[in-house]
């Protein structure tokens, strides 16, 4: 019994590892004997793909046809999906309505693989708004931006300048987790952009801080890397409003490259100084 339990635990761990990396389907429908292939290749120098194993079947199996998908705007692509996003975002008069619009928006394919929509965290009346790239695994599970390891580091970063989640507003430039935590595609970022622009406009922060290259490139319409963008003030425009904007390094990057925390600290001090000066 103990051996069977251990096997089950190992299998569950393996499935969890596959899930973390975005693996959600098998590549081959039929089993292939890879050991036999390796032996054959060693003997002959080449190994043709073996014929699939065919299991005997006493009677044909009736297959139920897959149900047809409803004709909704999930099939829209490119400019059509972006136009739909613009209309939905513009129609939202407040953050609650914008959240509801996103919850019913079908134009981004990521919502089909994600568990939850991650709209925001923190205080929408905060003077500082932080915008990251996209949700990760922990964020997808909880439906809240920046709650995983990167989020814990972000809490420490803003805590170092005397702020917390009750005094800042947090969002992402893409609202659903890309499979395997990959970088969102330009198309995925483009279809979400009308919503994040409207979210920034409605929140109306005094300072906008962009976390990481993906968010900075998407919202600032630039191809420059984050190392060139960080540490410099710029202007982001949404809904006719201009927002003082400061790109910096993403907490997830700092977890991989802790030596760069010194640069992030300089950026945080610059933002703290700007907020203090505006108060004075």
Assigned domain for 23 exists: no
Closest CA to 75 of 84, 65, 86, 66: 84
Query: What CA–CA distance (Å, rounded) separates 97 from 101?
Result: 6
Task: For 74-133, write each residue's pLDDT tens digit.
Answer: 444 589 999 999 999 999 999 999 999 999 999 999 999 999 999 999 999 999 999 999
Assigned domain for 130 exists: yes
Assigned domain for 182 exists: yes
Q: Token digits for 277?
A: 């000066």
DSSP state, 197?
H
Assigned domain for 57 exists: no
Cβ–Cβ < 8 Å for 265, 255 = no
Task: For 58-79, write each residue's pLDDT tens digit.
Answer: 454 454 444 444 333 444 458 9
Assigned domain for 133 exists: yes
**What total of structural domains would you count in the chain?**
1
Q: Is the pTM of this model over 0.85?
A: no
Assigned domain for 84 exists: yes
CATH number of domain containing 180:
3.40.470.10
Lookup result for tokens 């793909």: 49
Handedness of CA 272, 274, 279, 280 (dihedral sign): positive
In the chain, DSSP assigns E strands to 121-122, 128-132, 168-172, 207-211, 234-238, 241-248
Assigned domain for 242 exists: yes
Q: Note down the domain range covering 154.
A: 76-279
CA 89 to chain centre: 19
Lookup result for tokens 């920046």: 146
Assigned domain for 145 exists: yes
């Amino acid at each position: 019994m103990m051996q069977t339990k251990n096997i089950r635990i190992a299998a569950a761990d393996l499935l969890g590892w596959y899930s973390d990396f975005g693996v959600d389907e098998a590549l081959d429908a039929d089993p292939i004997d890879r050991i036999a292939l390796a032996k054959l290749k060693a003997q002959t120098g080449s190994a043709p793909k073996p014929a699939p194993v065919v299991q005997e079947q006493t009677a044909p199996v009736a297959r139920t046809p897959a149900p047809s998908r409803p004709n909704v705007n999930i099939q829209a692509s490119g400019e059509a999906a972006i136009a739909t996003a613009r209309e939905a975002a513009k129609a939202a008069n407040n953050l609650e309505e914008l959240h509801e619009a996103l919850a019913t928006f079908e134009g981004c394919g990521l919502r089909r693989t994600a568990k939850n929509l991650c709209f925001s965290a923190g205080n929408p009346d905060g003077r500082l708004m932080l915008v990251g790239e996209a949700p990760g695994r922990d964020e997808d599970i909880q439906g809240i931006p920046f709650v995983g390891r990167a989020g814990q580091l972000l809490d420490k970063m803003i805590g170092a300048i005397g702020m917390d989640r009750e005094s800042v507003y947090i969002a992402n430039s893409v609202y659903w987790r890309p499979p395997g935590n990959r970088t969102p595609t330009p198309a995925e970022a483009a279809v979400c952009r009308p919503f994040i622009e409207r979210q920034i406009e409605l929140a109306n922060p005094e300072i906008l801080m962009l976390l990481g290259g993906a968010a900075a490139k998407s919202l600032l319409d630039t191809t420059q890397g984050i190392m060139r963008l960080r540490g410099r003030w710029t202007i982001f425009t949404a809904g006719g409003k201009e927002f003082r904007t400061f790109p910096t390094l993403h907490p997830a990057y700092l977890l991989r490259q802790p030596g760069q925390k010194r640069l992030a600290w300089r950026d945080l001090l610059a933002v703290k100084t700007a907020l203090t000066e505006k108060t004075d």
